[in-house]
Amino acid sequence: MAPRATCASEVPSRLEVAKSPVHLKTPPIRVNMDAHMTLTRTSWAWILAGIACFLALTGADAEEISAARRSAVVRAVERVQPSVVSIRVVHREPVILQYQDLNRRFFFGPRYAGERDRTSGGSGFIIDGNRIITNAHVLGPRNPVRIEATMTDGRVLTVTGGLVDRMLDLAVLEVESQDLPVAPLGSSDDILVGEWAIAIGNPFDLGTTVSIGVISALDRDFEEPQGNYHYRDMIQTDAAINHGNSGGPLVNALGEVIGINSFIIPGGGERGHDFGSIGIGFAIPIDAAQRFLDEIQTHGRVRVPWHGIIDLQNLTSRLAQYLDLDSTDGALIHQIAVDSPAYMADLTRGDVILAINGETVHSSDEARGILTQLRVSETCTIDISRSGKPRLVTFRVEERPRAGSRLE
């Protein structure tokens, strides 16, 4: 069978097929503008609602954060800080020069080269319209030439007078200004170990400074190495207290003054250098300070109590055995003033004090500390041992006489 002939016009070539244009008809897209606008408005509404919710939540968080920042500590500081003052004390002291040449120093001795002012400082707080309370040691051992108290708002108060009780390490300063902000006084009778403690003062003359810690312990007793101050029932805190904090308030979380910051046990280096606070500071209980203030309010002066027991010493094992005592607890009376209240109550040298006003005495330091806290007109009851036999002695504390007393 013969092949079928094809005609070129009947079967187009591939080239011709490729060159043939292809026309695709796309149906027109019809957009509903009303629906589009409705969708757009709805989207923006949701977006704006989300932004509004975000801002509302952010504002609520900001309010909560702001409220959290104003903690009890912040409120307590705001309540007390306006009444805190920085105290500047100026003393005048002689200038003594020494010859460098040893021969001249031996024959001529020191040279007097005039006087100079020496400045020291501390802290205090206002207790009524024109009085400030602070530590006695802030004022120094001698009468100062000038005392100034600077308030937190920058006002400088000139001190015109004051009263000091160096045994209690307390002083009250009188100033000329009136209507000053007063620190609210609390009570040291219900302090809890572990509660917040806020120290406010003027450390290192930096100006009013706040530090925070807790009440570490209560009823700590100390005697200053030179015997000038006897501290009883002290409050221990780990709030940072440094040089210049003395006399400033120790405050609780309610914004009440519960103590007067007085001293620290400092850290020391190899050569005994003072490194400042290591978290062991002590404050005089405000109740003890209140008794001091009541004494001034009632009598217009500081009446120095007088019992007549001058010197005490600890008991050794041999001494306790000699006195027919079972232990070394107690304090031996070594010196007593003749015609003093204790002497007139039949206390004598060689008696051993076992307890004072019901408080057991373990050492001479404890006995001195308790006797220091006695006030004029207060009744004192002492349990003693004399020749191994117990006795009870009672006397009334008197005001210290101006003239000296003869010792037994």
Q: Which residues are catalytic?
A: 137, 169, 246
The answer for residues whose C-beta is within 8 angstroms of residue 131's C-beta and 6 or more apart is 172, 173, 174, 175
Instruction: Please give the Cα distance from 150 to 86 (Å, whole number).
Output: 5
Backbone phi and psi for residue 297, each to the nearest 5 degrees, phi listed first: -65, -40
Q: Return the SS3 of 99.
A: coil
Instruction: Please give the Cα distance from 157 to 84 (Å, whole number).
Output: 12
Instruction: State the pairing for strand pair 305-306/309-313.
Output: unpaired
Question: What is the Cα 103 distance to its own chain's centre?
Answer: 51
Sign of the dihedral defined by the CA atoms of residues 125, 171, 128, 220, in that order: positive
Gyration radius (Cα) of the chain, Å = 41
Sign of the dihedral defined by the CA atoms of residues 344, 288, 243, 272, in that order: positive
Instruction: Please give the Cα distance from 124 to 152 (Å, whole number).
Output: 12
342, 309 Cβ separation under 8 angstroms: yes
CA-CA distances (angstroms) from residue 363 to 226, 267, 312, 322?
18, 27, 9, 17
The string of DSSP codes covering 136-160 is GGGG-SS--SEEEEEETTS-EEEEE
